[in-house]
Structure 1
Amino acid sequence: MKHPTTLLGAVLLLAMCAAPHAYAASVKVDRGNIIMIDDAGSARPLTAGGLDSDPVLSPDHLSIVFVRRTPHRMVNTASGAESADEAWVMHIDGTAQRRLVEGAGAEDPKRTLAAFSSPIFSPDGQTVYFMSVAWVTSSSIHSVELSSGKERFVTDGNSLEIVPAGKYRGDLVVNKHKYWLASGSYDWYWLVSPTGKEIAPIGPGDESIEEFRSLFVK
């Protein structure tokens, strides 16, 4: 006959294995720190320092990408001096934090990396896209592969959305500032491939985006 203590230990072990793991239901920012809200509604701070923003969950809810401000380090851009900034990724429990991209100045606006915003995962969770300050009239969109850390310029744009499903899954919806041949300028949403190729215009306003979603995001 097994010892009662041994039996109790086995029961506890089985209970622990059967218990559901905490699941990241959402993430938010509180005074510059990333907070994870699990499926039970409990809040847990994941970063400290008060410099973090723009947290986004990966499609599998196991990782978080976010922006870390660098007020002590500035970059000269076409719009003036901006915070160099960094893009980071971590597990939902706050471990395995690593920097993906570090801001840097460059003569070519396509290579300027500063004042990051709108980070977002690709549908397969293998790539992160984000926006950077670039030209006076437009920001730039860059991508970074999580496995290799390779960063590249994708396209110009003043907004960023990833198509999550359907025919155009993984493509980008970007608001672009363009110029008419005669004179003047306009701002339209475009469907863009992950390599930066313009696939097709979507339209000028939010109504166009909603129509695109209703037709193609299924």
Structure 2
Amino acid sequence: MKRFFLLISFAALAVPAFAQTVWVKDGNIQFTDKAGQTTALTSSGRDSGPVLAPDGKWVAFVRKVDGKKIATGSDEVDPTELWQVRTDRKEASLLIKCRASEKPESVIAGFENLQFSSNGKLLYFVTPAWATSGAVHVVDTTNRKERYLFPGNDLKIVASGEYKDCLLVQQHKYFVGGGSYDWYWLLRADGKEVGPVGEDTETFAATYGKE
């Protein structure tokens, strides 16, 4: 009997653990849980770009929609929407629709580089805006309030350490006297600048840990 229980215990320990992942199949968001079980979270056939929240309970994603193209400083973009859904398939909800505006900082022409804050409450993204730069926006996933933060072409959230939840943002800037450069800058969530990082984030990551 003791041997039987030992075998059962060993079998339980031997069950493989999987990392939670989200991916796309035929335009639908798929979620694979820690047991390796995969579930389709959406069925529209028009979804892409899924990002899993840090707690593993929510997924943000982009949905294609019909409608007029959105004009930006560099191009016209097909409209999309930003959605979220629980990993148990409940509470699917629309967060933001694309919108046109004469002010580049108010345009929402797409949802690129989705990034959750460490607590999963805030969702950052980059949208096309000016001819030489996108715009970084953030939406509170609990109340759908969205706001513009600052110009940016690339975005990374610092996951841990001294600068946890600060943003590494690539910005297009100009030298005095002519010419331009695209450096990463460390910014706080309220837009306050901490300082320049450089042409890439490798040195920052090596010094301050995982981005």
Q: TM-score when scaled to structure 1?
A: 0.84
Pairing partner for 1:213 from 188, 205, 209: 205
In structure 2, what is the equivalent of residue 68 of structure 1?
63
Read off the aligned partner of 1:202 and give its amino acid letter.
V
In structure 2, what is the equivalent of residue 26 of structure 1?
21
Pairing partner for 2:102 from 90, 98, 107: 107
Pairing partner for 1:50 from 45, 52, 61: 45
Deviation digits for residues 168-187 of structure 1 (CA, Å, limit 9, x no counterpart): 11111111111111111111
Pairing partner for 1:204 from 172, 196, 199: 199
The alignment partner of 2:154 has SS state of coil
Structure 1 residues not aligned, in runs of 5+: 1-21
Is the CA contact 2:70–2:99 (under 8 Å) kept in the aligned structure 1? Answer: yes
Instruction: Say if 2:30 is the partner of 1:35.
Output: yes
Is the CA contact 2:18–2:36 (under 8 Å) kept in the aligned structure 1? Answer: no
Read off the aligned partner of 1:76 and give its amino acid letter.
A
In structure 1, what is the equivalent of residue 165 of structure 2?
170
Instruction: Say if 2:185 is the partner of 1:193.
Output: no
Deviation digits for residues 106-133 of structure 1 (CA, Å, limit 9, x no counterpart): 0110000012111111011111111111
Structure 2: distance between partners of 1:69 and 1:93: 22
Is the CA contact 1:202–1:212 (under 8 Å) kept in the aligned structure 2? Answer: yes
- TM-superposed CA distance for 1:74, in Å, is 2.0
Instruction: Say if 2:111 is the partner of 1:116.
Output: yes
Structure 2: distance between partners of 1:158 and 1:71: 26
Greater than 3 Å deviation, 4+ residue runs: none
Pick closer, same or farther for the CA change 1:63–1:190 going to 2, 3 Å: same
The alignment partner of 1:36 has SS state of strand
- TM-superposed CA distance for 1:42, in Å, is 2.3
Pairing partner for 1:159 from 154, 158, 164: 154
Read off the aligned partner of 1:165 and give its amino acid letter.
S
Deviation digits for residues 130-182 of structure 1 (CA, Å, limit 9, x no counterpart): 11110111111100112221100011111111011111111111111111111
In structure 2, what is the equivalent of residue 98 of structure 1?
93
Read off the aligned partner of 2:206 and give its amino acid letter.
S
Pick closer, same or farther for the CA change 1:179–1:195 going to 2, 3 Å: same
Structure 2 residues not aligned, in runs of 5+: 1-16
- Aligned residue pairs: how many? 194
Deviation digits for residues 28-56 of structure 1 (CA, Å, limit 9, x no counterpart): 11232111011122222111222211111
Is the CA contact 1:75–1:105 (under 8 Å) kept in the aligned structure 2? Answer: yes
Structure 1: distance between partners of 2:32 and 2:97: 27
Read off the aligned partner of 1:41 and give its amino acid letter.
G
